[in-house]
């Protein structure tokens, strides 16, 4: 179902999308290419990612960044060896893990790049059952409209499902990149010294808002941190016309 949403991307985003060249093998939908998507997934069953998908994922990230940041950061803090040294926190934020080769070329490429937000978005969000859906369908008490909400499904996805490309997953990845990855040093420094008995849910949320600037909208952020939403069919307004306020198109989630 379509979302009534149109947002004009900045020139930097258009330039990024223009250079976002994508490839797809004809080998049973396996992902193989040099773009970032191919380092995060093993399967592309329906269609190869498009420049429009890239823009949609960016816009979605702008909407769910704080929820994604808080979810990931809380989970990572629970795994830190200690809060006494910022290096211990930096270690979990970096997420550097060595994986044994499987012999599967596509999977080995994915695992080779599975670190930082390439790892966190999948392990801490997708594989834990979280997904992005319209707020009015899953959390009307939060927002009873068509804006996106991060929602947890009681049933966790299969590994194959998690390793399959979907635009909303890219939105989650970019939300992580634009908050935790872009501010990892500041987060590690800020969170060092957190009391062991602290409420990690609250600590993570405050750090995401104050240090990772998760609530900053696209115009307030650095050019490389742009955003848009998954699956939305974005249409440019007719020449000479401005898009109606609050109207447009959003992706299917």
Q: For the chain, what are the domain ranges?
A: 11-213
> Does 21 score more than 60 pLDDT?
no
pLDDT of res. 243: 39
Mean local confidence (pLDDT), 59-88: 94
pLDDT score at 144: 82
What's the sign of the alpha-carbon dihedral 32, 126, 143, 227?
Answer: negative
Percent of the chain with pLDDT over 70: 71
Q: What is the pTM of this model?
A: 0.74
Question: Do the Cβ atoms of 157 and 129 come closer than 8 Å?
Answer: yes
124 or 229, greater pLDDT:
124
pLDDT tens-place string over residues 147-156? 999 999 999 9
Residue 202: pLDDT band with limits 50, 70, 90? very high
Q: For the residues 159-185, what does the mean pLDDT come to?
A: 96
Give yes or no for residue 68 having a pLDDT over 70: yes
Is residue 9 within 8 A of residue 232, CB to CB? The reply is: no
Q: Provide the mean pLDDT of the chain.
A: 78
pLDDT higher at 106 or 173: 173
């Amino acid at each position: 179902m379509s979302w009534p949403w149109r947002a004009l991307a900045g020139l930097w985003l258009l330039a990024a999308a223009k250079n976002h060249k994508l490839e797809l093998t004809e080998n049973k939908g396996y992902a193989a290419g040099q773009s970032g998507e191919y380092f995060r997934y093993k399967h592309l069953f329906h269609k190869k990612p498009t420049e429009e998908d890239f823009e949609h994922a960016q816009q979605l990230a702008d909407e769910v960044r704080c929820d994604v940041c808080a979810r990931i950061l809380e989970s990572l803090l629970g795994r830190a060896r200690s809060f006494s040294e910022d290096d211990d926190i930096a270690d979990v934020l970096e997420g550097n893990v060595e994986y044994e080769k499987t012999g599967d070329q596509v999977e080995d490429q994915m695992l080779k790049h599975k670190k930082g937000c390439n790892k966190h978005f999948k392990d801490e969000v997708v594989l834990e059952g979280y997904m992005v859906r319209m707020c009015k369908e899953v959390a009307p008490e939060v927002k009873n409209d068509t804006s996106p909400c991060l929602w947890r499904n009681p049933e966790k996805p299969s590994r194959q499902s998690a390793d399959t490309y979907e635009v909303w997953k890219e939105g989650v990845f970019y939300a992580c990149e634009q908050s935790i990855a872009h501010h990892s040093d500041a987060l590690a420094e800020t969170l060092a010294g957190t009391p062991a008995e602290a409420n990690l849910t609250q600590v993570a949320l405050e750090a995401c808002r104050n240090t990772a600037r998760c609530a900053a909208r696209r115009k307030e952020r650095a050019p490389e941190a742009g955003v848009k939403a998954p699956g939305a069919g974005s249409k440019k307004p007719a020449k000479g016309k401005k898009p109606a306020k609050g109207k447009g198109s959003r992706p299917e989630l």
